[in-house]
Amino acid sequence: MVRGSNLLMDAFLTRDQVRLLDRLATEQYAMPTLILMENAGRSAATIIHERFGGAGRAWVCCGVGNNGGDGCVLARHLHNAGWSVRGMMAGDQLRMAPDTQANHRILQAMGLDVPIAEDEEVQRTMLSTVRTDDLLVDALLAPAFAVRFEARLPSSSKP
């Protein structure tokens, strides 16, 4: 990565391009998916750390699929860079992808607060602890997510 360059921010891939690259890496080059996950999470953590400068507070919301594993790696690297990291694994623990399980176990061994929240009410309660000064990281939605939606942030003014 070239410091001071906007190359990474200008190089977006479509969902199909990401799928193709992942497939080529694993099938043609025999790259283990754990390495892909490590590279994705580490790179995202680096971009966040550089973009937002220094250590801060991060709240990482992970799913139980491979994107959640990327989030676990990201959480680990932000923590190692001095960030205060909290979050959750939202979903059924029995459906957690093997690589995601491996990276979640690492977080547990490090003592990071990223518990599994299977119940929607527990997830809501945990999300209610997100502070306004937390950097909220989405590690739920993967490249396969194809539904369009509009995020609405709470208004700072009262009606």
Q: Residue 145 has what pLDDT?
A: 54
Q: Residue 148 has what pLDDT?
A: 52
Q: Residue 11 has what pLDDT?
A: 65
Lowest mean pLDDT among 26-40, 93-107, 138-152: 138-152
Q: Looking at per-residue confidence, does 51 or 72 come out higher?
A: 72
Residue-range domains of the chain with CATH:
33-139 (3.40.50.10260)
Spatial distance between the Cα atoms of 149 and 70, rounded to a whole number of angstroms: 22
pTM: 0.81
User: What 3-state class would DSSP assign to 23?
Assistant: helix
Q: Residue 143 has what pLDDT?
A: 58
Instruction: Tell me the residue type at 138.
Output: D
pLDDT at 117 over 70: yes
Mean pLDDT of 99-127: 92
